[in-house]
Amino acid sequence: MAKLTKLSVFKAQNPTVETPLDKTTRIVRKMAEEETEQRQAKNNRLRTARLEREGGTPTKPSR
């Protein structure tokens, strides 16, 4: 049986290497999140403009 020491028990693990699939997944998720943020900003802007045009006061947009 191997003798356990502070150095052998608490070794820092090497960070995992990002595979091409992981890289693609990360990039696609980032793109989807950015598109969602842009869509929400556009919807909020259009909602505010519609409410102002209809004569109502715009309320704070709900999420």
Domain ranges of the chain: 21-54
**For residue 30, pLDDT beyond 70:** yes
pLDDT number for residue 49:
93
> Whole-model pTM above 0.75?
no
Task: Determine the 3-state secondary structure of 3 from DSSP.
Answer: coil
pLDDT number for residue 55:
85
pLDDT number for residue 57:
61
14-24 CB burial, b ≥16 within 10 A, e <16: eeeeeeeeeee
**For residue 46, pLDDT beyond 80:** yes
pLDDT, average across residues 41-59: 87
